[in-house]
Structures are given as C-alpha cells and as structure tokens.
Amino acid sequence: MMRFLLLFSRQGKLRLQKWFMPMSEREKKKIIRDMTTMVLARQPRTCNFLHWKDLKIIYKRYASLYFCLAVESQENELLALEIIHRYVELLDKYFGNVCELDIIFNFEKAYFILDEFLMGGEIQETSKQIVNRSIEASDMLQETMEEYMSKPAF
C-alpha cells in the first residue's frame, strides 16, 4: 500500500500532497520537511530508493519537480517507479507537454487526475486510455452542468 505522494520543486516548495493514511497536520508538516531535506540532499547519479523509518521512499526527478512516493516495505520498488512514470504520462497527455507551472496553476486538475489513477493507496486503473477518457468525461459533465445552470430559465 502507498502511504503518501509528494511533489515538490527544487527549492523545496510543495506542489501536491496526497495522503493515503490519516495523519495529523503536525505529522504531515514534519514528514514534508523530512522528505524534502532527504531527497534534495541526494547526489545526481544515485539510486532512487531510500529507507525512512519502516517505509521505502521512491523518488524521481522530472525537469524541475521531484516526485516522492512512500510505500510499505513489502511493495515492489521498481513498480513504484513505473507508477510515478505513469502519473507523469497522464499529466502530460492532459495538459499537453506538462511543466511545473501547469501543476501550480491547475492543481485541482492534477488532483482529479490522481484520483482517477490511484485510490486508497492502490492502483485503480491500469489502462492509460480509460483514465484519460474518464477525466475528459468528468470535465465535459462539469462544463455542460455549468452551462445549464448559468443559462437563464425561460
């Protein structure tokens, strides 16, 4: 089971946080601090796996963003790397050549996409196309509902 997923920039600014286990605000803040310090301190050509308390931390850097995923000790680390990569691909397909600014200004979309891909600490859907189609359909629903609600009633 995955415990949390964090996205942060090279300066340590948090761009997305998803927690799969209930935790108090203080704990969350402490974990964010620990993760950013640990991951940002790593040398460039080292392996992507770390140990922290009883969890395995898998991190990968894409352009200026660090994706940091914490899994329990019986999980497959190489597959976790694939999960991170799959999420980046989904973001890329949605935003078209995604960059950090897209995730900053449209953070709620990033969350919606994540919620179509992962749920409760596990993978929900293994097919890229189905996830993309669901997001598009939800967006379409939102737009039509907006239009419908904002149209004057005669």
Partner 1 sequence: MSPSVPLQEMIRAIRSARTQCEERGVIQRECAAIRAQFRQVDNGARSHNLAKLLYVHMLGYPAHFGQMECVRMIASPRYSEKRVGYLGAMMLLDEKQDASLLITNSIKNDLSHSNQYIQSLALCTLACMGSAEMCRDLAPEIDRLLRASNSYIKKKAALCAVHIVRKVQDLGELFVPAARSLLTEKNHGVLHGAVVLITELCENNPETLERFRKTVPDLVQIMKSLVISGYSPEHDVAGISDPFLQVRILRLLRILGRNNEAASEAMNDLLAQVATNTDSTKTVGNAVLYETVLTVLDIKSESGLRVLAVNILGRFLLNNDRNIRYIAMTSLQKIVGTDHIAVQRHRGTIVDCLKDQDASVKRRALELSLALVSASNIRSMMKELLLFLSSCPLELRAQAASGIFNAAERYAPSQRWHIDTILHVLTTAGGDVRDETVPNLIQLITNTSELHCYTVHKLYRALLTDISQQSLVQVACWCIGEYGDLLLRGECQETEPVQVTEDNILDALEVVLQSHMSSPATRGFALTATMKLSTRITDNVDRIRSIVSIYGSCIDVELQQRAVEYNALFKKYDHMRAAVLERMPVIEKNSPGHTNGESAGEALKEVQPAQGSTAPSLPSNTASTAGGDLLDLLGGFEPTPPAPAPQGLTSTHTHTHTHTQISMIKCIFLQCCFFCFCFCFFFSTVPTLTVYDKGGVTLTLSCEKQSNSGLIVTLTASNSTDSDISGFTLQAAVPKSVQLHMKAPSGDFLPARGAAKVTQMVVLNNPNKVGYHVWRCCCCFFINNINKGN
Binding site for partner 1 (CB under 8 A): 14-17, 20, 22-24, 29, 43, 45-51, 74, 76-79, 81-83, 86, 104-109, 111-112, 115, 119-120, 122-130, 134, 137-139, 141-143, 145-146, 149-150
Q: Tell me how far CA of residue 107 lies from CA of 1, 16, 70, 118, in angstroms.
A: 24, 7, 21, 16
- Comparing CB distances to partner 1, the nearer of 63 and 120 is 120
Shortest CB 79 distance to partner 1, Å: 5
* Short-list 39, 32, 38, CA closest to 6: 32
Shortest CB 5 distance to partner 1, Å: 12
Provide DSSP, 5-60: EEEEETT--EEEEEESS---HHHHHHHHHHHHHHHHTS-TTS-SEEEETTEEEEEE
Q: Tell me how far CA of residue 141 lies from CA of 60, 128, 147, in angstroms.
A: 34, 20, 10
Residue 80, both tokens: 């976790």
Shortest CB 154 distance to partner 1, Å: 19
Shortest CB 46 distance to partner 1, Å: 4
- Comparing CB distances to partner 1, the nearer of 63 and 78 is 78
- Comparing CB distances to partner 1, the nearer of 108 and 154 is 108
CA distance 80 to 86: 10
Shortest CB 124 distance to partner 1, Å: 6
- Comparing CB distances to partner 1, the nearer of 63 and 79 is 79
